Amino acid sequence: MQIIQDIETIKEPFKSAVITIGNFDGVHIGHQALFHEVLERADAMDGTAIAMTFEPHPIRIITRNGHPPLITLYEQKTELIEKAGIDVLICIPFTMDFAALSARTFVEDILVRRIGMKAIVVGQDYTFGNRREGNVDLLKRYADELGFEVIVADWIHPSNVDNNRISSTAIRKLVMDGRIEKAGKMLGRNYQIRGTVAHGRDRGGRLLGIPTANINLHDELSPRVGVYAVIVQYDGKRYPGVANIGYSPTFDDHVFTVEAHILDFKKDIYGQKIMVNFVRRLRDEKRFSGISELVEQIDLDIAKARAILAPHFK
């Protein structure tokens, strides 16, 4: 997949460009359906399948005070879009100047003239341009004049999800509530965080005999405090594990941590990148009377996680 981070570098329009546009936070199955539609239309036209997204997330620039944590950071988002089969990803640096572009300028100058758009795939609530002045009806009017096709995708209503509509907002709430299995159904995969393994408080291995890999979260969404069965990816391999998210109340730390114990794993991975995929929530975080009671509970958590994760490692 070709990644373009500056539209000024596009010197000539793409061949029969079919494009979809969005933030694509989460790259959930609704987004994947849009990509599938783009790929089918591009194939029929012998054209180029293109996705356009924005970095940083527009709400971070427009609101300026607070923003929701991201379901997928940029690195993972690009990986997932490439996996979907898209030919070209155009990532627009989102600024207030870009936000001020009129709907007409965005469609005519950027999409049609520079990119060569012949078809666009959007959701029913798609908006664009300064103050979201553009919508699907306006896009269709431009299409008649400028010579491109507008394909409006249907909402995705999967039978295995008890929500009316799949959205990044719905997924974000599910993850924050600890309902990661339902979030996974909307995502089409397990919810994942990733980061570099950092030195923690040196208690897991030394005091408990259960070493953990500590990850510092930055912009990404954290699941609800608690203990989870997880699959850890490191160096191209997958390992079962148990992750604790929270404040270690038994030790009165009051410091938020994300730490994963990788089962049957002995390597020193400080400074290395890992990915933690959340499969099932096991329990709330709780205070124990002492180290022995805590270790006993962790042993139970590990046994439960092994049973849950066993089908993933057949």
Does residue 53 register a pLDDT over 90? Answer: yes
pLDDT tens sequence across 279-292: 999 999 888 777 88
Q: Which phi and psi (to 5°) does residue 28 adopt?
A: -80, 180
Could you give the CA distance from residue 296 to residue 305 in angstroms, rounded to a whole number?
14
Could you give the CA distance from residue 253 to residue 232 in angstroms, rounded to a whole number?
25
Does residue 206 register a pLDDT over 60? Answer: no
Question: Which secondary structure element, helix H or strand E, spans residue 33, and what is its range?
Answer: helix 29-45
Tell me the average pLDDT of the chain: 89
Structure tokens, 296: 């006993």
Does residue 225 register a pLDDT over 60? Answer: yes
**Order of strands across the sheet with 117-122?**
2-4, 88-93, 48-55, 17-21, 117-122, 149-152
**Stronger pLDDT, 292 or 185, i.e. the higher one:** 185
Does residue 251 register a pLDDT over 90? Answer: no
Could you give the CA distance from residue 109 to residue 59 in angstroms, rounded to a whole number?
24
Distances (CA, A) of 132 to 67, 82, 301: 18, 28, 48
| Residues of the chain above pLDDT 70, percent | 91
What's the pLDDT score for residue 29?
A: 93
Q: State mean pLDDT over 90-105.
A: 91
Confirm if 281 and 228 have CB atoms less than 8 A apart. Answer: yes
What's the pLDDT score for residue 108?
A: 96
Amino acid at site 235: D
Does residue 243 register a pLDDT over 60? Answer: yes
Q: State mean pLDDT over 26-49.
A: 96
What's the pLDDT score for residue 159?
A: 56
Pick the CATH number of 190-313 from 2.40.30.30, 1.10.579.10, 3.10.180.10, 3.40.50.10190: 2.40.30.30
Could you give the CA distance from residue 22 to residue 132 in angstroms, rounded to a whole number?
13
pLDDT-derived band at 107, boundaries 50, 70, 90:
very high
Domain positions in the chain: 2-152, 190-313
Highest mean pLDDT among 72-81, 250-259, 260-269: 72-81
Structure tokens, 10: 């596009």
pLDDT tens sequence across 120-146: 999 888 888 888 888 999 999 999 999
Question: Which secondary structure element, helix H or strand E, spans residue 296, and what is its range?
Answer: helix 291-309
Could you give the CA distance from residue 278 to residue 281 in angstroms, rounded to a whole number?
8
pLDDT-derived band at 208, boundaries 50, 70, 90:
low
Structure tokens, 89: 């990803």
Q: State mean pLDDT over 37-63.
A: 91
**Stronger pLDDT, 252 or 83, i.e. the higher one:** 83
Query: Superfamily assignment of 2-152 in CATH?
Result: HUPs (3.40.50.620)
Could you give the CA distance from residue 257 to residue 251 in angstroms, rounded to a whole number?
13
Q: State mean pLDDT over 172-192.
A: 96
Does residue 116 register a pLDDT over 70? Answer: yes
Could you give the CA distance from residue 203 to residue 110 in angstroms, rounded to a whole number?
55
Could you give the CA distance from residue 87 to residue 39 in angstroms, rounded to a whole number?
9
Does residue 184 register a pLDDT over 50? Answer: yes
Amino acid at site 183: A
pLDDT-derived band at 205, boundaries 50, 70, 90:
very low
How many residues in total does the chain contain? 314
Question: Mean pLDDT lowest for which of 168-177, 207-216, 272-281, 283-292?
Answer: 207-216
